[in-house]
Amino acid sequence: MKSTLDVIFGLLGGLAVFLFGMNMMSDCLQKAAGEKMKKILALLTKNPVLGVLAGALTTAVLQSSSATTVMAIGFVSAGLMNLPQAISIIIGANIGTTMTAQLIAFKLSDYIQIIIFFGFIIYFLAKSERTKNIGQTIFAFGLLFLGIETMGSVMKPLASSAVFTNMIEQVAHIPVLGVAVGTLMTLVVQSSSATIAVLQNFASQAGPDGVTSMLGLTGAIPILLGDNIGTTITALLAAIGQSRDAKRTAVAHCIFNISGCLIFIWLIKPFAALIQWISPKGAEIDVISRQIANAHTIFNITMTLIWIPLIWLMVKIVMRIIPDGKEAVLDPAAPAFLDDKLVRQPIAAMHLVVKEVVHCADVVAEALKSLAQMTEKEDKKLLNEVMVKVDIAHSLHNRITEYLADLFSGGVLTEEQATQTAAVMYVMADIDRMGTLCKSVGGSLQDKYDKKYNYSKDAMKDLGKSLHIIEDMYEQAMHMITSGENKEAEEVSTKKEKVLSLNLDLRKKHMNRVGKGKCDAKLTAPFNKLIHVVERMSDSCADIADAAGGKVDFNYFSDYAEE
C-alpha cells in the first residue's frame, strides 16, 4: 500500500513541479522576448505560410499550443483576424508545441541541479529586468527537468509489477485503447506537453528484461495521437460564449488533430519504422524519448503539409458544421474586444485593450456629436442618445480598468510594458472624463427644457460653435494617440485658445443681454456653469494631445495586428 501511494504522490508531485516550471518558463520567456514577441505576432495577419510560422514561434515562446490557440480564438472573436488566418495559426501551434518534447528528450539528469543553481544566481545577482528574466527562464527550465526526473524515479518500481506490465501490454497492442488513454490523460492534465513528458519518461523505463522499453515505440505512438486529440478540449472551452467564427476556429483545431489520428492509426508500424530509422541509434530505453519527440514533430509537420493547401476546405467543413445564422444581440455596454483568457499573454491582451479604448473613445465622440446638434434644435431624442452613449462609455471604462488591474496583478508585464499600460490608463481617464462632461452639458441643456430656461438663439448658436470646435479637437487628439503622430498638436492648442476666446465672448454677450433686459439675470449662474464645463472639455482634449506628445503610443501594442 505504501509503495503504491509513493508512486502516486511521486507522479503527482513531479507533474506539479513540471507544470510549475513550464508556466514560469512561459512567463519569463515572454518578458525576455519583449519586443521580439511583437515581431512574432506581426506575422499573424499575413499569408497562411507566415501564419503557420507565427503560430509555431508563438507556441515556442509560450510553451503551450493551447495558449496560442486561445489567443487565435480571442482575436477571431474580436474581429481582428479572419477564420483562414486563425486556422493557419493553429496549424503552426501544433508544430511549435513539439519543441517541448524535443527539449525533454535531452538527457540532462546529471545537470539539473547545476542548471537550477546557475539560473538562480543569474536572477539573484542581475540588475536589469531582462537579465533577471533570462535567469528565471533558466531556473524554470531546470525545474521542468526536475519534475521529469521525479516522475521517472517513482516509475522504476512499476517495471516489476506483473499487474501493471500486463495492463501496459494491452495498451501497447490495442492502438484504439492507447488513443483513449492519451486523450484521457490530456483531458485531465490540460496540457499535452505534460502528458507527452510523462509518456517519454514512462517509455524510457526498462521492461522485465531490463533492455527494452516497457511500452515500445509502437505502443507510445497511439498514446501520442490521443494526447494531440485531448489538447483540443482547451480550444473548445475557450470558444464557449464566443462568436461563431471563434467556435469554428476551435472546431478546426479538433479536425486537424482528429484527422491526423485517423490517418496515422492505420500506419503505426511503418511510421514507427520511419521514426526509428531517422532517430539516433542505441538501446531502446536510451533513445525512445527522442523517438517519441521525433514522432510528435513528424506527425505535426506531415499534417501541416497536408492541410496548408487545403485551408479553404477546412473553412468549408467548419462552416458546414457551424453554419451562419442569426447572431445573438450584443449588449452595447459589453466590451467588444477584451478577452479574460488572454490576461497571461500581455502583448496580445494589451492589443485588445487598445482596441477597446478606441471603441470607448468612439462612443464618446458619438455623444459629443449629438451634444453639438442639440444646440441647433431642441430634440429630446438627441439628449437621450447622449445619456445612453455616456453610460455605455462609462461602463466600458470600468471594464477596461478592471482588465488592466488584472494584467498588473498577474505580474506578467515588463517594466516597459507596465509604463505603456499606465499611459493607456491615463488616456482612458481623460476619455471617461470627456464622457462625464458630455453628460454634465446634456444635463444643463435638459434643465433648459425642463425649467424653461430661455437662452437666446444667439447664445445657443455660439455654444454650438464651441462644441463643434471641441468635437474637432477631440477627433484630432485621438488621431494623434492612435497614429503616433504629433503634427496636429499645435492645431489642438490653437483651437483650445479659440474655445476660451469664444466662451469669454459668450459671457460678455450674455451680460449685455441681461443689461438690456433681453435675458433673465437668474440664468447667469447656470449659463456660466455650462460654459465652464465646455472649457473643461477643451482641457481634456488638450490633455489627450499632450499625452500623445509625451510619447504615449497606442501603436506600441497595436501596430502588429492591423490588417
- Residue 116 in contact with residue 139, Cβ under 8 Å? yes
pLDDT band (50, 70, 90) for residue 399: very high
C-alpha–C-alpha distance, residues 330 and 205, integer Å: 55
Is the predicted pLDDT of residue 1 greater than 60, yes or no? no
Is the predicted pLDDT of residue 274 greater than 90, yes or no? yes
C-alpha–C-alpha distance, residues 140 and 143, integer Å: 5
Q: What is the mean pLDDT of residues 411-440?
A: 85
Lowest mean pLDDT among 83-87, 107-111, 395-399, 450-454: 450-454
Cell of 82: 479572419
C-alpha–C-alpha distance, residues 132 and 158, integer Å: 40
Give the pLDDT score at 298.
Answer: 93
- Residue 418 in contact with residue 525, Cβ under 8 Å? no
Give the pLDDT score at 219.
Answer: 87
Write the pLDDT tens digit of every residue in 354-367: 889 989 999 999 98
Is the predicted pLDDT of residue 329 greater than 60, yes or no? no
C-alpha–C-alpha distance, residues 393 and 390, integer Å: 5
Q: How many CB atoms lie within 10 A of CB 117?
A: 13
Is the predicted pLDDT of residue 294 greater than 90, yes or no? yes
Is the predicted pLDDT of residue 451 greater than 70, yes or no? no
For the CA atoms of the chain, what is the radius of gyration?
Answer: 31
The residue with greater pLDDT, 49 or 159, is 49
- In this structure, the chain runs to a length of 563
Q: Is 417 exposed, middle or buried (0-12, 13-18, 19+ CB in 10 A)?
A: buried
> 85 Cβ partners below 8 Å, 6+ apart?
44, 45, 48, 51
C-alpha–C-alpha distance, residues 408 and 422, integer Å: 10
pLDDT band (50, 70, 90) for residue 295: very high
Give the pLDDT score at 563.
Answer: 40
On the CB side of 227, how many CA atoms lie within 13 Å of its CA? 27
C-alpha–C-alpha distance, residues 507 and 272, integer Å: 88
Is the predicted pLDDT of residue 312 greater than 70, yes or no? yes
pLDDT band (50, 70, 90) for residue 158: low
The mean pLDDT value of the chain amounts to 81
Residue type, 241: G
pLDDT band (50, 70, 90) for residue 559: low
Give the pLDDT score at 360.
Answer: 92
Give the pLDDT score at 296.
Answer: 92
Helix (H, G, I), strand (E, B) or coil at 206: strand
Q: What is the mean pLDDT of residues 523-530?
A: 76
The residue with greater pLDDT, 1 or 518, is 518
C-alpha–C-alpha distance, residues 200 and 105, integer Å: 8
C-alpha–C-alpha distance, residues 519 and 434, integer Å: 30
Is the predicted pLDDT of residue 15 greater than 90, yes or no? no
C-alpha–C-alpha distance, residues 39 and 32, integer Å: 13
C-alpha–C-alpha distance, residues 550 and 547, integer Å: 5
Give the pLDDT score at 243.
Answer: 76
The residue with greater pLDDT, 303 or 418, is 303
* Domain limits, CATH 1.20.58.220, in the chain: 340-561
Give the pLDDT score at 562.
Answer: 42
Lowest mean pLDDT among 188-197, 528-537, 552-561: 552-561
Residue 11 dihedral angles phi and psi, to the nearest 5°: -65, -45
Which fold is adopted by the domain 340-561?
Methane Monooxygenase Hydroxylase; Chain G, domain 1 (1.20.58)
Q: What is the mean pLDDT of residues 275-279?
A: 90
Cell 513550464 belongs to residue: 22
Cell of 238: 475557450
Helix (H, G, I), strand (E, B) or coil at 213: strand
- Residue 148 in contact with residue 16, Cβ under 8 Å? no
Q: What global pTM score does this model have?
A: 0.80
Q: What is the mean pLDDT of residues 50-67?
A: 80
Is the predicted pLDDT of residue 110 greater than 80, yes or no? no
The residue with greater pLDDT, 361 or 455, is 361
Q: What is the mean pLDDT of residues 10-31?
A: 80
- Residue 18 in contact with residue 152, Cβ under 8 Å? no
Residue 220 dihedral angles phi and psi, to the nearest 5°: -80, -35
- Residue 453 in contact with residue 523, Cβ under 8 Å? yes
Alpha carbon 19 to its chain centroid, in Å, reads: 20
Give the pLDDT score at 414.
Answer: 78
- Helix H or strand E segment including 88: helix 83-96
> 63-77, 360-374, 495-509: which has the highest mean pLDDT?
360-374
Give the pLDDT score at 325.
Answer: 65
Is the predicted pLDDT of residue 520 greater than 80, yes or no? no
Write the pLDDT tens digit of every residue in 228-246: 888 888 778 778 777 788 8
Give the pLDDT score at 262.
Answer: 92
Is the predicted pLDDT of residue 328 greater than 80, yes or no? no
- Helix H or strand E segment including 331: none
| Residue closest to 300 by CA, chosen among 38, 52, 23 | 52
- Residue 283 in contact with residue 211, Cβ under 8 Å? yes
Give the pLDDT score at 273.
Answer: 92
Is the predicted pLDDT of residue 448 greater than 70, yes or no? no
Is the predicted pLDDT of residue 478 greater than 50, yes or no? yes
Give the pLDDT score at 303.
Answer: 92
> 404 Cβ partners below 8 Å, 6+ apart?
353, 421, 424, 425
Give the pLDDT score at 560.
Answer: 40
- Residue 246 in contact with residue 305, Cβ under 8 Å? no
Q: How far apart are the first and last CA of the chain?
A: 61
Give the pLDDT score at 259.
Answer: 92
C-alpha–C-alpha distance, residues 156 and 164, integer Å: 12
C-alpha–C-alpha distance, residues 181 and 432, integer Å: 53
Helix (H, G, I), strand (E, B) or coil at 403: helix
Cell 538562480 belongs to residue: 120
Q: Is 84 exposed, middle or buried (0-12, 13-18, 19+ CB in 10 A)?
A: middle
